């Protein structure tokens, strides 16, 4: 590739400090001067992201970008029915806007917030607005807890020291777990199958996507696109929201424009991941277990007794881990300490390894 059509930014050209210095390379994206760009995440863990234009062109007023690879490993396309990559955005030069089209954290491992750091840096340097439609699978969670959208929470921040009403709610272990297990297995409608019955189909679809592009089992996101079921059923319906007069209404998906200021950049780029957001391994000895084959996994995901036992044990073990941190967990704890870092990744993990669970 011609060097003029590729921009590279490393820690040598960008320093993340109180008085941020930014290389001019990012502006090349907003002026359609490059068709590939390499970004180094400003985290303690070195992560190199490669973004590329869809049509491999430059010089146009509208360009479409997607995340091609992480640390040189191409991202597996998990939805064969669409041409849209998991992470994609548009840059419109005339309108001075960066439009986020799709944001689905994927494998190799990437968090949504790391992508937002990149977009915030891009918008700040180019003096463009970020345009998003908040229709993410966790929109209802952020709306219920903080009264703001997922993107508003990250781009514009919120005072987490304020007295949120949800903190008065205590989530009781038996009540929550009984409800969680029941909701997963119950029918959504008289003529529809239960989420418990539909999840194997989604798991199988993800496995097939991984097999089609030869992704090793350990890197396959078997639970891709299933989070919304666990969030909705566990968070919305299995917590007693009566103290708030019922579950708070979800913010309707709408277009939001964000102007990123220097104050925003200082906060966004200096924000550290909370320790508990990382994977909580409820079985440390998994590292020594044998990874299953795709055929073995496909057999088990359609085994009702196996899935019932798997889900029940993980729900229970994760709550046990939660109680070590909080004796009286509130809804925020269910989201930040239970569902996100423990239940979801461990379902993915236990599906892949031969264990006694």
Q: Which of 82, 112, 133 is the last residue of a domain?
A: 133
Give the confidence band of 253 by pLDDT, cuts at 50, 70, 90.
low
What 8-state DSSP symbol labels residue 295?
Answer: H
Domain that holds residue 342: 165-247+277-352
Q: Which of 112, 133, 154 is the last residue of a domain?
A: 133
Shared-domain flag, residues 178 and 326: yes
Alpha helices in 53-167 (DSSP H): 112-126, 139-146, 150-155
Shared-domain flag, residues 108 and 204: no
Tell me what pLDDT residue 18 has: 35
Where residue 103 falls (left for φ over 0; alpha for ψ -120 to 50; beta otherwise) is: beta
How far, in Å, are 158, 211, 260 from residue 222 at the CA level? Answer: 33, 11, 35
Q: Residue 96 pLDDT > 50, yes or no?
A: yes
**Strand ranges, E, within the chain:** 6-8, 36-40, 48-53, 62-70, 73-74, 87-92, 97-103, 129-133, 255-258
Distance CA 184, CA 302 (A): 15
Residue 151 lies in a domain: no
Shared-domain flag, residues 241 and 201: yes
Instruction: Give the percent of the chain with pLDDT over 90.
Output: 33
Instruction: Give the percent of the chain with pLDDT over 70.
Output: 81
State pLDDT tens for residues 103-139: 887 777 788 889 999 999 999 999 999 999 877 667 7
Q: Which of 110, 133, 156 is the last residue of a domain?
A: 133
Shared-domain flag, residues 113 and 204: no
Of 98-102, 224-228, 248-252, 306-310, where does mean pLDDT reach its minimum? 248-252
Core vs surface per residue 227-258: b (16+ CB within 10 A) or e: bebbbbbbbbebbbbeebeebbeebeeeebeb
Residue 263 lies in a domain: no
By CB neighbour count within 10 A (0-12 exposed, 13-18 middle, 19+ buried), where does 338 fall?
buried
Shared-domain flag, residues 170 and 112: no
Residue 79 lies in a domain: yes
**Mean pLDDT score of the chain:** 82
Q: How many domains does the chain have?
A: 2
Distance CA 182, CA 255 (A): 36
Residue 313 lies in a domain: yes
Residue 140 lies in a domain: no
Shared-domain flag, residues 64 and 125: yes
Residues 69-89, mean pLDDT to the nearest whole number: 83
How far, in Å, are 244, 275, 295 from residue 129 at the CA level? Answer: 35, 31, 47
Distance CA 103, CA 115 (A): 8
Q: Choose from 42-46, 96-100, 225-229, 322-326 the range with maximum mean pLDDT.
A: 96-100
CB-based contacts of 313, cutoff 8 Å, min separation 6: 357
Residue 50 lies in a domain: yes
For residue 301, the surrounding DSSP H or E stretch is: helix 294-301
Residues 180-184, mean pLDDT to the nearest whole number: 81
Question: 6-8 and 36-40 as β-strands: parallel, antiparallel, unpaired?
Answer: parallel
- Does the bond joining 108 to the residue before it have cis omega, within 30 degrees of 0? yes
State pLDDT tens for residues 14-71: 344 333 334 447 888 988 899 999 998 887 677 899 999 998 878 889 999 999 999 9
Shared-domain flag, residues 126 and 190: no
Reference 68, options 9, 27, 113, 110; nearest CA is: 110
Shared-domain flag, residues 213 and 114: no
Vertex 257: Cα angle to 252 and 258 (nearest 5): 120
Shared-domain flag, residues 173 and 129: no
Residue 157 lies in a domain: no
Residue 264 lies in a domain: no
Number of C-beta neighbours around residue 191 at 10 A: 6
Per-residue DSSP letters for 179-220?
A: HHHHHHHSBSSTTS-BHHHHHHHHHHHHHHHHHHTT--GGG-
Shared-domain flag, residues 47 and 122: yes
What 8-state DSSP symbol labels residue 21?
Answer: B
Shared-domain flag, residues 178 and 106: no
Shared-domain flag, residues 93 and 188: no
């Amino acid at each position: 590739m011609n060097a003029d059509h590729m921009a590279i930014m490393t820690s040598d050209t960008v320093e993340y400090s109180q008085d941020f210095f930014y290389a001019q390379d990012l502006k090349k994206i907003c002026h359609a001067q490059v068709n590939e760009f390499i970004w180094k995440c400003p985290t303690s863990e070195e992560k190199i992201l490669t973004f590329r234009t869809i049509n491999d062109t430059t010089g146009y007023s509208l360009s479409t970008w997607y995340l091609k690879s992480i640390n040189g490993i191409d991202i597996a396309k998990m939805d064969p029915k669409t041409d849209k990559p998991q992470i994609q955005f548009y840059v419109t030069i005339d309108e001075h806007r960066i439009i986020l089209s799709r944001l689905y954290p994927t494998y190799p491992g990437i968090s949504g917030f790391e992508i937002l750091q990149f977009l915030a840096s891009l918008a700040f340097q180019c003096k463009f607005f970020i345009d998003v439609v908040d229709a993410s699978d966790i929109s209802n969670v952020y709306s219920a807890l903080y009264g703001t959208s997922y993107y508003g929470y990250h781009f514009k921040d919120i005072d987490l020291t304020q007295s949120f009403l949800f903190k008065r709610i205590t989530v009781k272990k038996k009540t929550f777990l009984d409800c969680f297990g029941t909701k997963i297995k119950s029918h959504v409608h008289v003529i529809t199958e239960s989420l418990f019955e539909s999840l194997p189909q989604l798991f199988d679809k993800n496995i097939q996507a991984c097999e089609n592009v030869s992704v090793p089992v350990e890197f396959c996101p078997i639970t891709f696109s299933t989070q919304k079921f666990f969030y909705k059923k566990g968070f919305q319906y299995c917590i007693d929201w009566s103290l708030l007069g019922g579950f708070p209404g979800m913010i309707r998906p709408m277009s939001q424009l964000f102007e990123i200021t220097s104050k925003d950049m200082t906060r966004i780029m200096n924000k550290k991941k909370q320790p508990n957001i990382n994977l909580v391994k409820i079985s440390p000895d998994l590292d020594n277990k044998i990874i299953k084959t795709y055929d073995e996994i496909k057999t088990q995901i359609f085994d009702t007794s196996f899935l019932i036992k798997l889900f029940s044990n993980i729900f229970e073990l994760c709550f046990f881990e939660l109680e070590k941190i909080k004796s009286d967990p509130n809804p925020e704890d269910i989201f930040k300490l239970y569902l996100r870092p423990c239940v979801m990744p461990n379902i993915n993990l236990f599906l892949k390894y031969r264990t006694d669970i």
